[in-house]
Structure 1
Amino acid sequence: MKHTKKVAGVAGILSVLWIGLTAAVAASQNRLLFNPLGSRREVLKPYSAGHRTRAVVIRAKDGTRLSGWLMTPRLAGPHPGVVYFGGRSEEVSWVARDAGQLFPGMTVLAVNYRGYGDSHGDPAEIHFVEDGRMLYDWLANRRDVDPQRMAVVGRSLGSGVAVQVAIDREPCSVVLITPYDSILAIAKRKFRTLPVEYVLRHKFESVKYAEKINAPVYVLRSEHDDIVPHSHTDLLVQKLGTLQADEIVPGSNHINIPYLPETQERIAYFLTDRFYPQPVLPV
């Protein structure tokens, strides 16, 4: 009897701890997933040597102020357009600095998510995707942008935004940097004993949308990735019917991959090839 009571007591304590841990994960999921407080201005005076660079404030449909940068080529347009979606904790001013190498000859819009940088509001998957569609339309409707030559580029967390925007707006190219099958799957891997599927509000289930993408997709992985294991990228890639290339950038990790010259050269080459296809010569 004493043994039974002891076992029951231990089971009760473990249950309380399990419930407490589950509640803690549920309550802190915004910080764990987004961590916008860590997104301080990365570049104090963003400027692209290959573009005219200006700060922009764009209102979301609900009036929320979103802040970022618009980079336009110095030559007269219309030009191809690129919308960039950043990763967790990422403040996107660095894109303005590196746009000349990443997006030569392209008009680029890089805007911080809600709660990131100087953008107002609170981060949430539904807001990121809705704002992403709005930003895509905002850029595509500019006179100096060719709406038939648009691309979305998403890094890490932002790959989930790019995927959902791509199925609704039909860009001509999609670039995904260290993408995943779903944030839910990664969370379940990290918190194996917790019912995260019931408490996670922002699931970013890219794998459910991948088959609906009609544009060519270029996937870039980091060589050493302890944030998005390659197995989670594999599951997404298997669903991409329009996959053009799936490459690993040597010497890269999850954090440094977008800043590396080789990464930037590969993205610039892929998009340039898509935006300015070479004519087929007669045989």
Structure 2
Amino acid sequence: MKHSKKVAGLAGLASVLWMGLTAAVAANQKRLLFNPLGSKREVLKPYSSGHRTRPIVVRSNDGTRLSGWLMTPPVAGPHPGVIYFGGRSEEVSWVARDAGKLFPGMAVLAVNYRGYGDSHGDPAETHFVDDGRMLFDWLSERHHVDSKRIAVVGRSLGSGVAVQVAMERDANSIVLITPYDSILALAQRKFKAIPVEYVLRHKFESVKYAHHLKAPTYVLRAAFDDVVPHSHTDLLVEKLGRLHADEIVPDSDHMNIPYLEATQQRIASFLASRFNQPQS
């Protein structure tokens, strides 16, 4: 009898702990998933040596103020364009610093997500995707940008934004840096004992949308990645509608990959080859 009560007590305690952990993950998922690290800029005075660089403020469809940078080549356009979507804790001012190497001869738009940098609002998957579509339209309407030659580039968390934007907009090309099949799948891998599918509101299920992508898609993986295991990238790549290439950048990890010269040269070369092709 005592043994049965002890077992029942332990089972009850385990149940309480499980429910508590599940509730904690549900309540803190925004911090766990987005983690914008305050408003500190990665680069104090962003400036591209190969572009005219200016800070911009745009309003989302619901009026939220979004802040970032627009970089345009110093010669007359129209130019091909690029929209960059950053990672989980990424403030995007560094893109202005590196745009001369990453995106030579291209107009570049890098805007911080809601709650990141100087952008207002709260981070959420629906907001990121809605804002991404709005930014694509905004850039395509600039007189110095060729609306038929706009690429989307997404890193890590931003790969999920890029996939959904490219699915609904006429992107010329797509670059995905350390992409995943879904944030839901990554969360299930990390929190095996929790019914994540019922509590996670921001699932970023790129694998569900990948087959809709019509533009050539270039996938870049880190050689050592303990955030997005290659198995999760494999599942996405299998579903991509039009894979251009799937490459591993030597000596890279999940954090340093976009800053490496090898990465930047690969992206610049791919986009230049795409933008230089005759337009139908």
1:81-96 residue pairs with structure 2 within 5 A? 81-96=81-96
User: Counterparts of 1:171-210 in structure 2 under 5 Å?
Assistant: 171-210=171-210
Q: How does 1:54-203 map to 2 (within 5 A)?
A: 54-203=54-203
Q: Give the structure 1 partner of residue 231 of structure 2.
A: 231
| SS of residue paired to 2:147 | strand
TM, length-normalised to structure 2: 0.98
Q: Kindly report structure 1 stretches of 4+ aligned residues shifted beyond 4 Å.
A: none
Query: Is 1:265 aligned with 2:269?
Result: no
How far 1:241 sits from its partner (Å)?
Answer: 2.4
Measure how far apart 1:191 and its partner are: 0.2
Q: Does the 8 A contact of 1:224 with 1:254 survive in 2?
A: yes
Contact 1:38-1:89 at 8 Å conserved across structures: no
Q: Please state whether the residue corresponding to 1:61 is helix, strand or coil.
A: coil
- String of CA shifts for 1:199-242, please: whole Å, max 9, x gaps: 00000000000000000000000000000000000000000120
Amino acid across the alignment from 1:120: H
Q: Is 1:214–2:245 an aligned residue pair? A: no
Stretches of structure 2 lacking an aligned partner (at least 5 in a row):
none
- Corresponding letter in the other structure for 1:114: R
Task: Please say if residues 86 and 158 of structure 1, whose CA atoms lie closer than 8 Å, have aligned partners that are also in contact.
Answer: yes
The number of aligned residues is 279
Match of 1:52 in 2: 52
Give the deviation of 1:40 after TM superposition. 1.9
Q: In structure 1, list runs of 5 or more residues that go unmatched.
A: none
How far does the alpha carbon of each residue in 1:228-278 deviate from its partner, in whole angstroms, 9 at most, with x for none? 000000000000120000000000000000000000000000000000128
- Counterpart code for 1:54: R
Aligned alpha-carbon RMSD (Å): 1.0
Specify the code of the residue in structure 2 equivalent to 1:95: V
C-alpha distance in structure 1 between counterparts of 2:106 and 2:216, whole Å: 18
Rounded to whole Å, the distance in 1 between the matches of 2:32 and 2:214 is 32
Deviation at 1:166, TM superposition (A): 0.2
Q: How does 1:19-30 map to 2 (within 5 A)?
A: 19-30=19-30
Distance 1:241 1:89 in 2: 29
Q: Is the 8 A contact 1:73 1:105 kept in 2?
A: yes
How far has the Cα of 1:36 moved from its partner?
1.2
Q: Give 3-state SS (helix, strand or coil) of 2:37's partner.
A: helix
**Distance in 1 between residues matched to 2:200 and 2:254, nearest whole Å:** 23
Aligned to 1:240: 240
Q: Distance in 2 between matches of 1:159 and 1:84?
A: 10
Shift of 1:39: 5.4
% of aligned pairs identical?
A: 77
CA distance in 2 between counterparts of 1:75 and 1:54 reads 16
Q: Is the 8 A contact 2:148 2:170 kept in 1?
A: no
Please, what TM-score do these two structures have when normalized by structure 1?
Answer: 0.97
- What letter matches 1:216 in structure 2? P
Instruction: Tell me, in whole angstroms, the C-alpha distance in 1 between the residues paired with 2:122 and 2:47.
Output: 27
Report if the CA contact (8 A) 1:184-1:200 is conserved.
yes
Given that residues 39 and 118 in structure 2 are in contact (C-alpha distance below 8 angstroms), is that contact kept between their aligned partners in structure 1? no
**Could you tell me how far 1:170 is from its partner in structure 2?**
1.8
Could you tell me how far 1:105 is from its partner in structure 2? Answer: 0.3
Q: Deviations for 1:173-203, whole angstroms, at most 9, x for unmatched residues? A: 0000000000000000000010000000000
Whether the aligned pair in 1 keeps the contact of 2:159 and 2:177 (CA below 8 Å) is yes
